[in-house]
């Protein structure tokens, strides 16, 4: 079953999903600015803001319904769902029909929502420090490296990869790498292994079952 084969991936995602939440919040904050902010400013401003919001919620207030509302508000409108889905399916994206692609985006989004929900509930006052932005030669890709300090004092490296369609558009996240483990690559490796043995339609059916209420 897909649930068994993706167990490692789910553990990995639970480790970095909170950071994707913070970056998504940053992107929404950038959208209201007159001009796009640099990636580090976007990440730092929103990180501080979302941490403050989470600290205001008690554990009892972090219900499934409330967490889902926060995820839909902060994350889903901000990330490039298609770009991430394309990277996760890899070569199989080219073979998928338009209907299969949209179905994968929808079911992958539901999987993300459930993963992010767990991160919201587990948040316990972690702190973040980010380095200066590193741009590619053309200036349309950026790497924001940082460190998360856990409540037990352990430090976890955090990398956000962003892109900008043009000089006036907002920066968008297309991958997150935590302790050397990338979201997109993790999904791609696991899904590619699974798709050696089943069809895309069968994969979609398994995802639908895994994310069913």
- CATH number for the domain spanning 72: value is 3.10.450.710
CA gap 6, 11 in Å, rounded: 9
Low-confidence ranges of the chain (pLDDT < 70): 1-35, 46, 49, 74-78, 116, 213
The pLDDT of residue 107? 92
Per-residue pLDDT, 32? 46
pLDDT at 2: 52
Domain region containing 180: 2-210
pLDDT on residue 169 = 80
pLDDT of residue 9: 45
- Cβ distance 13 to 115 under 8 Å? yes
How confident is the model over 30-58, as pLDDT tens digits? 444 456 778 887 777 767 767 777 788 88
Tell me how many domains the chain contains: 1
Do 135 and 142 touch, CB atoms closer than 8 A?
yes
pLDDT tens for residues 93-102?
Answer: 999 999 999 9
Question: What is the per-residue pLDDT for 46?
Answer: 64
Quote the CA–CA distance of 208 and 213 in Å, as a whole number.
Answer: 10
Kindly report the number of other CB atoms within 10 A of residue 75's CB atom: 25
Q: Residue 123 corresponds to which tokens in the numbers above?
A: 């948040």
């Amino acid at each position: 079953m897909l649930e068994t084969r993706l167990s490692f991936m789910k553990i990995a995602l639970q480790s970095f999903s909170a950071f994707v939440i913070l970056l998504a919040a940053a992107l929404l904050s950038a959208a209201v600015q007159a001009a796009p902010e640099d990636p580090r400013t976007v990440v730092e401003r929103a990180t501080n803001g979302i941490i403050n919001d989470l600290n205001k919620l008690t554990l009892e207030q972090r219900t499934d319904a409330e967490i889902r509302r926060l995820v839909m508000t902060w994350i889903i409108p901000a990330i490039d769902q298609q770009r991430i889905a394309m990277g996760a399916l890899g070569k199989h994206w080219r073979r998928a029909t338009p209907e299969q692609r949209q179905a994968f985006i929808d079911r992958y989004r539901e999987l993300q929502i459930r993963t992010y929900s767990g991160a919201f509930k587990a948040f316990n006052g972690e702190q973040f420090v980010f380095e200066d932005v590193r741009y590619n030669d053309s200036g349309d890709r950026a790497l924001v490296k940082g460190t998360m300090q856990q409540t037990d004092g352990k430090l976890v490296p955090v990398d956000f990869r962003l892109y900008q369609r043009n000089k006036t558009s907002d920066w968008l996240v297309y991958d997150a790498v935590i302790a050397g483990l990338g979201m997109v690559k993790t999904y791609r490796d696991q899904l590619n292994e699974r798709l050696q043995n089943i069809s895309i339609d069968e994969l979609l059916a398994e995802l639908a079952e895994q994310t069913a209420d």
